[in-house]
Amino acid sequence: MAYTALKRLLFLWCILFVGVAWVKAIAKPGVQSVDAKDSFIQKDGQDNTGVKADPAHLEKRGKTSDEKAASFEAWKRVFAKEAKSAGVTPAFVDFIVPRMALLPEVVRLDRNQPEFLADFWFYTDRALTPERIARGREMLKAHRATLDVLAQRYGVPAHYIVAFWGMETNYGTHKGHVDTLNALTTLAFDERRRTFFTRELITFLKIMDREQTLDFKGSWAGAFGHFQFMPTTYMAYAVDGNGDGRIDVIHQLEDAFASAAHYLKTMRWQEHVRWGREVVFQKKADWEKIDLTATYSVAKWEQLGLVPADGSRWAEEDKDILAELRLPMGTKGPAFLTYANFKTIMRWNRSELYAFAIGLLADRISGQADRLYTPRVHQPFSVERVRLIQRYLAEQGYYRGEADGRAGPLTRAAVRAYQRDHSLPPDGHLDEVLLNRLETKNHDNH
Ligand SMILES: [Ca+2]
DSSP string, 304-332: TTEEETTS----GGGTT-EEEEE-TT-TT
CATH of the domain at 395: 1.10.101
* DSSP code for 241: S
Amino acid in position 398: Y
**249 CA from centroid of ligand 1 (Å):** 8
Final residue before a domain boundary, out of 220, 246, 266: 266
81 with 206, same domain?
A: yes
Residue 198: inside a domain: yes
Q: DSSP 3-state assignment of 277?
A: strand
pLDDT of 187? 96
**256 CA from centroid of ligand 1 (Å):** 9
57 with 185, same domain?
A: yes
Helix (H) or strand (E) holding 80: helix 65-85
**255 CA from centroid of ligand 1 (Å):** 5
**31 CA from centroid of ligand 1 (Å):** 27
Residue 300: inside a domain: no
Residue 382, strand partner residues: 116
Q: Where are the alpha helices (DSSP H) in 372-445?
A: 383-395, 409-421, 432-445
Helix (H) or strand (E) holding 187: helix 180-189
Dihedral (Cα; 338, 341, 346, 348), 10-degree rounding: -160
pLDDT of 13? 52
Residue 239 region by backbone torsions, left for phi larger than 0, else alpha for psi between -120 and 50, else beta? beta
d(CA 320, CA 416): 29
**208 CA from centroid of ligand 1 (Å):** 15
What digits encode the pLDDT tens for the residues 20-47?
443 333 333 332 223 333 333 333 333 3
**244 CA from centroid of ligand 1 (Å):** 5
d(CA 299, CA 343): 20
CA nearest to 407, candidates 424, 429, 436, 435 = 429
Strand pairing class (178-179; 295-297): unpaired
d(CA 156, CA 163): 12
Phi and psi at residue 325, to the nearest 5°: -90, 125
Helix (H) or strand (E) holding 361: helix 352-366
Final residue before a domain boundary, out of 206, 234, 266: 266
CATH of the domain at 50: 1.10.8.350
What digits encode the pLDDT tens for the residues 79-126?
999 999 999 999 999 999 999 999 989 988 878 777 888 899 999 999
Q: Which residues of the chain have pLDDT under 70?
A: 1-62, 442-446
- Model pTM score: 0.83
400 with 261, same domain?
A: no
96 with 234, same domain?
A: yes
Strand pairing class (306-308; 295-297): unpaired
Q: DSSP 3-state assignment of 382?
A: strand
111 with 259, same domain?
A: yes
Phi and psi at residue 10, to the nearest 5°: -60, -40
CA nearest to 142, candidates 154, 134, 153 = 134
Phi and psi at residue 280, to the nearest 5°: -135, 160
103 with 230, same domain?
A: yes
**205 CA from centroid of ligand 1 (Å):** 19
Residue 415: inside a domain: yes
Residue 9: inside a domain: yes
Amino acid in position 131: E
255 with 393, same domain?
A: no
Residue 217, strand partner residues: 179
Q: Which residues contact 176 (CB under 8 A, 6 or more apart)?
A: 34, 35, 38, 169, 217, 218, 219, 220, 223, 224, 228
229 with 88, same domain?
A: yes
Count other Cβ atoms within 10 Å, centred on residue 80. Answer: 18
**132 CA from centroid of ligand 1 (Å):** 27
Final residue before a domain boundary, out of 238, 266, 294: 266
* DSSP code for 372: -
**254 CA from centroid of ligand 1 (Å):** 7
Phi and psi at residue 335, to the nearest 5°: -115, 145
**425 CA from centroid of ligand 1 (Å):** 51
d(CA 356, CA 120): 8
Residue 11: inside a domain: yes
Phi and psi at residue 38, to the nearest 5°: -60, -45
d(CA 3, CA 54): 50
What is the number of structural domains in the chain? 2
**127 CA from centroid of ligand 1 (Å):** 29
d(CA 38, CA 350): 16
Pair 418, 426: CB distance under 8 Å: no
Could you tell me the residue range of the domain that residue 428 belongs to?
383-445
d(CA 208, CA 221): 17
